[in-house]
Structure 1
Amino acid sequence: MPPQDRRQPLLAEEQEETAYDSSEKVVVVGIDEQDGDVEAPPFSWRKLWLFTGPGFLMSIAFLDPGNLEGDLQSGAIAGYSLLWLLMWATAMGLIIQLLSARLGVATGRHLAELCREEYPAWARIVLWLMTEIALIGSDIQEVIGSAIAIRILSNGVVPLWAGVVITAFDCFIFLFLENYGVRKLEAFFAVLIAVMALSFAWMFGEAKPNGVDVLVGILVPKLSSRTIQQAVGVVGCIIMPHNVFLHSALVQSRQVDPSKKGRVQEALNYYSIESTIALAVSFMINIFVTTVFAKGFYGTEIANNIGLVNAGQYLQEKYGGGLFPILYIWGIGLLAAGQSSTITGTYAGQFIMGGFLNLRLKKWVRALITRSFAIIPTMIVALIFDTTEESLDVLNEWLNVLQSVQIPFALIPLLCLVSKEQIMGSFRIGPVLKIISWLVAALVIVINGYLLLEFFSSEVNGAVFATIVCVLTAAYVSFILYLISRAITYTPWQSLTRSKTVATTDN
């Protein structure tokens, strides 16, 4: 069958559901005269600029309110001692996100679409439900973070539930900007990241942490039994399940011909540079937040009581007014973090729902459905928990557990797919990267398993509840083992053996 005939079924599927229509994609081919069939064209600053965008949208998940709360608690309780772990956790997150980008560029399809084809119907539905639950849990944290920021900036006039309603309309901002093209949407997110960077850098300047202590904290590994819980939290909250799905779709906003090996390699090179820069920026912002709270509250009696709800007030009491009250600087940065992460959550929800279910819905309809999934439970949560800071802290602990539970359902399918030659072709990951990636995934899964064990050992009371948890845990572990078995049943060694068998038969 001629190559163009073999492509017809793929084209038909792409017409059913794609991350971006061809008219929406940014054109990067044609800047130089090389066709890029075999080798990647030489480096171009102009091309790097045109490829810049998806990595910064991806990096927002490293800066959401949940991560900021982890930063401030790490700083207040552990001081500067866990900055090195934050750096290496960000590096691990970069590895996973680069694999996600690799999958999207090399296949021309995103993770949710490929999962729809890779797994049987029952497993596909379970994966979709788990991913949606993770997205809803993440969105609740992000929307609540925005609502807290709105309450701070309104001097308490706007209650938490009203802040949730205001935040709910961010999907309309997203839909409005999307009509003006991908680059306008990316520019909007760049502004929000800049607002975060300026706000938290201002706080850093107000607090004046010791530069030597910060540098030692980054370069010298240090861990004690007293800070083990914060250390586990630092690593556990870095990788967000929905963000793994999101990045594989975002990279398809650039027009890259998957049939041209050189063009694919070129795109991967630029995305690697861009994602590294984006996560370096997110790392610096996380450093600002951690060190501000380390300088102000480490070793104090209130260190263990600081959370997202009361952090602004504690900052105000510690550092005072200044040229511009630090309470409002914190509120502005938190609002930018919450708004940017909720909008990217809406974006991720579109890709996840469309990819798993192959829904041919208009984007505004899909965005409203995705938003409703998150806003309705968030509104209920806001009305129930808008009473005390303690209740919101308990809620946040449960939501962190929810995120931890869902992580294997994103990592294992990703590593399974990027390892398969029949899916990735020559861009499948090699043995060294494969080992590193599985070790990173195993480390993250084990760490989050530790979080779950610690949490349930203190929270599970009563025989009935304990029985339910045990049954759910058995089902959960069984499904993870099933996903792992799918990853190892078809290996490159088997592919090589089959190729040799075919060659021998032909001869």
Structure 2
Amino acid sequence: MGSSDTERSASYEDEAGGLGGVVSTISSSRSPLQPPAADDGEPFSTYFDSKIPIPEDETHSCFSFRKLWAFTGPGFLMSIAYLDPGNIESDLQSGAVAGFKLLWVLLLATVIGLLLQRLAARLGVVTGLHLAEVCHRQYQKVPRLILWLMVELAIIGSDMQEVIGSAIAINLLSMGRIPLWGGVLITIADTFVFLFLDKYGLRKLEAFFGLLITVMALTFGYEYITVKPSQEKLLQGLFIPYCQDCGTPQLEQAVGIVGAVIMPHNMYLHSALVKSRQVNRADKREVREANKYFFIESCIALFVSFIINIFVVTVFAEAFFNKTNAQVRQVCANASSPHTELFPSDNGTLEVDIYKGGAVLGCSFGPAALYIWAIGILAAGQSSTMTGTYSGQFVMEDVEHLTGMNDFLNVLMSLQLPFALIPVLTFTSLPSVMSDFANGLLWRVAGGLLILLLCSINLYFVAAYVLALRSLPLYVGAAALSLLYLAFVAYLTWLCLVALGASFLACGSTVSVTRPLRPEQPPCHPQK
């Protein structure tokens, strides 16, 4: 950090009333709301060389479809994470294990995800920096490096799920002629080809992702129409938060739904994607307007992804809930399916994944159902692999200055969730970072409770997975790692609480800021 930055940090600590020891860990070396000095450039160059302009609205109306269209794109790219192969597998297992009973969990998880994505988007809009950049500026070196490693692990796990999903889809489409390893190579190659689309304009890339989402909606919608799930059971499952006769498998599946829907790296991605729009951050009206339209777009995008997820859950709930392996094997045998041997001849409850799911649909509803399912999985895997690659690129900026694995990968990503949620709540609650747009008391408390709930759910999911492995050496290793993991989570939580306390003491709930502020220091606006 240069001398000018040091002076700014020191001046902030002096203004805070001698809180140097408290504020030094999360520093406020520069106001992100102001352009840097000419000799002190941004440490990162934005990925978006050219930004999409927003049309002027002469009447300043409350709502404009032209402006909404201009802001449309980042939310749909973000929503891909809610439609990746891990989510699709969680959906079909939910339907097969619990029928329609866990639809309300999917709805609740999507709503919570929307609220958290709102925080990430606001951080990018207000500061002009994405979450990884803010972490780089605000955290000291050791915690930010650990954060980077944790988030990269989450991205690697997510990418593995998505590549495996695409490889399975290619295997199904080729009737097994292309092996899984061949599908992996094809997926990796075509992902790099598709990523070159951004060289021809961001809008073209966003349109391509929109096409992939449309493919998923049409393919999984076709399965929904073919199977004809009960609408009465669907509505009951959505709006009655109760699971009658549910045991441990259903509980673990409910926890898995939450873990699959809310992805840690998606917070980093969304906070970066909103930087692609041309917003004058010096104009509070423009910033407020951008926050509004990005939130509306995110609502629409996640509603579309929720409907697609509903298609998958209800198809398997209607057709395969309480079915046994022997029953499905007989159906496949009657259809002369090459996938008959996938299912044992016992009377155990049917267990499906995205590969067996396609085979089951093909046996029960004909080859068209299998091929259309595979096309949908391919679209899900391909699109989410691309967005995962983008997430990795954005997170890397912080450092530069097979189907059977899905449970393990879900556990891996569940463990990384606090390392995205705690920082995004911390920074969006700090007036020194967000100025007028910092979270109020309600958002701070509600956000903290939501993060506590999600982290508790995910830790239960991880503990259940480890205990199911029944290995004493693994238990000992997991216990040791758990202490380190919980210590770092506690450290981030402590930083969050200390920073919020420091900002409250610096601002004061009744202080009126009447003295002139230094140019580099943002105004302090107490939140009610």
What band does the TM-score fall into relative to the shorter chain?
0.7 to 0.9
1:222 aligns with 2:242: yes
Measured against aligned partners, the alpha-carbon deviations of 1:378-414 in whole angstroms (never above 9, x if no partner) come to xxxxxxx6xxxxxx42x22111110111000000011
Residue identity (%): 47
Matched, 1:66 2:91: no
1:295 pairs with 2:305 = no
Quote the offset at 1:83 in angstroms.
Answer: 0.8
Instruction: Select 1:490's aligned residue among 494, 499, 502.
Output: 499
Structure-to-structure mapping, 1:108-187, within 5 angstroms: 108-187=128-207
Q: Quick one: distance in 2 between partners of 1:5 and 1:155?
A: 56
- Match 2:53 to one of 27, 45, 53: 27
Contact 2:126 2:434 survives alignment (8 Å): yes
Larger CA Rg, structure 1 vs 2: 2
> 1:493, CA displacement in angstroms?
2.3
How far, CA to CA, are the matches of 1:172 and 1:107 in structure 2? 30
- Cα deviations across residues 59-100 of structure 1 (Å, max 9, x unaligned)? 000000000000000001100111111111100000010110
| Alignment partner of 2:481 out of 472, 475, 499 | 472
Q: Deviation digits for residues 341-388 of structure 1, max 9, x if unmatched?
A: 00011111111101x1246xxxxxxxxxxxxxxxxxxxxxxxxx6xxx
Q: What one-letter code is carried by the residue in structure 2 that aligns with 1:417?
A: F
> Residues 412 and 483 of structure 1 are in contact (CA less than 8 Å); yes or no, is this contact kept in structure 2?
yes
CA contact (8 A) 1:94 1:279 kept: yes
Counterpart in the other structure of 1:334: 377
Where does 1:306-345 land on structure 2 (aligned, <5 Å)? 306-321=352-367, 325-345=368-388
Aligned mates of 2:33, 2:309 — CA distance in 1: 51
Q: Does the CA contact (< 8 Å) of 2:76 and 2:298 recur in 1?
A: yes
**Deviations, residues 153-204 of structure 1 (Å, cap 9, x unaligned):** 1111110001000110234233321011110000000000000000000000
- CA shift digits 1:105-141 (9 cap, x unpaired): 0101000000001111011110001111110001000
Deviations, residues 388-444 of structure 1 (Å, cap 9, x unaligned): xxxx42x22111110111000000011010000000000011111222211211111
Alignment of 1:47-126 (within 5 A): 47-126=67-146
Q: CA offset at residue 152 of structure 1?
A: 0.6
**Distance apart, 1:6 and its partner CA:** 6.7
Match of 1:397 among 407, 419, 427: 407
Show the counterpart of 2:267: 244
Q: Partners in 2 of 1:6 and 1:94 — Cα distance? A: 29
Match of 1:371 in 2: none
Residue aligned with 1:14, SS: coil
Q: 1:427 aligns with which of 437, 440, 446?
A: 437
Q: Do 1:105 and 1:251's aligned partners in 2 also have CA atoms closer than 8 Å?
A: yes
1:5 Cα shift?
13
Distance in 1 between the 2:221 and 2:302 partners?
Answer: 16
Q: 1:263 to 1:11 in 2, by over 3 A?
A: farther
Correspondence for 1:374 = none
| C-alpha RMSD over aligned residues | 2.4
**In structure 1, how many angstroms separate the alpha carbons of the residues matched to 2:133 and 2:463?**
33
Tell me the TM-score normalized by structure 1. Answer: 0.86
Identify the residue that residue 4 of structure 2 maps to in structure 1: none
Q: 1:147 to 1:461 in 2, by over 3 A?
A: same
Comparing 333-342 and 76-85, the one that deviates more: 76-85
Contact 1:17 1:358 in 2 (8 A): no
Cα distance in 1 for residues equivalent to 2:279 and 2:38: 16
Instruction: Please give the alpha-carbon distance, in whole angstroms, between the structure 1 residues aligned to 2:128 and 2:285.
Output: 15
Structure 1 equivalent of residue 289 of structure 2: 266
Counterpart-to-counterpart distance in 2, 1:503 and 1:51:
37
Gap change, CA 1:4 and 1:485, over 3 Å in 2: closer
Shift of 1:455: 1.3
**What SS is found at the alignment partner of 2:355?**
coil
Equivalent residues, number:
460
Answer whether contact 1:111 1:245 (CA < 8 A) is retained. yes
- CA 41–160 in structure 1, closer or farther in 2 if over 3 Å, else same: same
| Aligned with 1:357 (options 368, 390, 399) | 399
Q: 1:456 to 1:505 in 2, by over 3 A?
A: same
In 2, Cα distance between equivalents of 1:33 and 1:287: 41
- The TM-score normalised by the length of structure 2 is 0.83
Q: Distance in 1 between matches of 2:507 and 2:105?
A: 39
Aligned residue type for 1:357: V
Q: 2:216 aligns with which of 169, 184, 196?
A: 196
Q: Distance in 1 between matches of 2:365 and 2:289?
A: 48
Measured in 2, the distance between the counterparts of 1:467 and 1:128 equals 26
Q: Say if 1:256 and 1:267, in contact at 8 Å, map to a contact too.
A: yes
Aligned to 1:14: 42
- Residue range with higher mean Cα deviation, 233-242 or 126-135: 233-242
Q: Find the aligned partners of 1:196 and 1:10 in 2 and give their Cα distance.
A: 48
Would you say the 8 A contact 1:78–1:298 is kept in 2?
A: yes
2-structure distance, mates of 1:228, 1:313: 26
Q: Report the counterpart of residue 13 of structure 2 in structure 1.
A: none
In 1, are the aligned partners of 2:32 and 2:128 still within 8 Å (CA)? no
SS of the aligned residue for 1:255 comes to: coil
- Give the Å deviation of 1:470: 1.8
Question: 1:225 Cα shift?
Answer: 2.6
- Specify the code of the residue in structure 2 equivalent to 1:307: D
User: Does the 8 Å CA contact 2:96/2:316 hold for their aligned counterparts?
Assistant: yes
* Consecutive unaligned residues in structure 1, runs of 5 or more: 35-39, 360-384, 386-391
Equivalent residue runs for 1:269-284 within 5 Å: 269-284=292-307
1 CA distance for matches of 2:186 and 2:34?
49
Is 1:348 the counterpart of 2:359? The answer is no
Contact 2:32 2:127 in 1 (8 A): no
Q: How many angstroms does 1:20 deviate by?
A: 1.8
Q: Is the 8 A contact 1:19 1:110 kept in 2?
A: no
Deviation readout 1:253-311 (Å, 9 max, x if unpaired): 00001111000000011011100000000000000000000011001113541112211
| Contact 1:41-1:266 within 8 A present in 2 as well | no
For residues 97 and 414 of structure 2, the distance between their equivalents in structure 1, rounded to whole angstroms, comes to 22
CA distance in 2 between partners of 1:501 and 1:285 (Å): 50
Q: Residues 232 and 448 of structure 1 are in contact (CA less than 8 Å); yes or no, is this contact kept in structure 2?
A: yes
Equivalent position SS for 1:216: helix
Verify the 8 A CA contact 1:105 1:268 in the aligned structure 2: yes
